[in-house]
Structure 1
Amino acid sequence: MGLISLLWGIVSMIWMILALIPLLGWGNWFLIPFAAVGAIIAAIGILFTSPGNRGRAKTGLVLNGIVIVVGIVRLSLGGGVI
């Protein structure tokens, strides 16, 4: 689960960078739910993994959290949340 959430976070981070391009801001509407699913997978990975092996899941949770926050800020700045 940790590896899946980490890869999910990397893909969503790349997608977020592409969505920062002005005419591709509509991608944030799809990016936020995508990253939320990655955060849920990471949370499940943290719950069911032994304490010594939670690093990847925690990193995935942090990456997906950053992507969600940046996506929401980008949508609010661009007027997409109205």
Structure 2
Amino acid sequence: MLNVLSILTGLLSLIIVIPSQIPFLGIGNWLALPVIAVGIVLGQLSSKRSGRNFNLVILAIAVIRLLLGGGVF
């Protein structure tokens, strides 16, 4: 059950992260980071690891985008 919640949290954060890849919408990545963190914690508490790994991939995408944009844009 926790794995399903982790995947759903990951999908929610993915909906936030995808439009945030457009220039000047990068603030959405900052909004997605706490949601991703909750998904990682839920995935870690689960017996399966697919939800945690999915959230880690989304976290990597968001962090790389923030690094490329200087953290703001």
Question: TM-score if structure 1 supplies the norm length?
Answer: 0.77
Residues 1:64 and 2:65 are matched in the alignment: no
In the alignment of these two chains, the number of paired residues is 71
Q: Which residue of 1 aligns with 2:39?
A: 38
Q: Which residue of 1 aligns with 2:7?
A: 6
Deviations 1:17-43 (A, max 9, x none): 111121210111111221011100110
* Structure 2 SS opposite 1:22: coil
Instruction: Provide the alpha-carbon RMSD of the alignment.
Output: 1.4
* Structure number with higher helix proportion: 1
Structure 2 residue runs of 5 or longer lacking an equivalent are none
Runs of 4+ in 1 over 4 A off after TM superposition: none
Asked if the contact 1:2–1:45 (Cα under 8 Å) also holds between the matched residues in 2, the reply is yes
* Structure 1 SS opposite 2:41: helix
Percent sequence identity over aligned pairs = 37
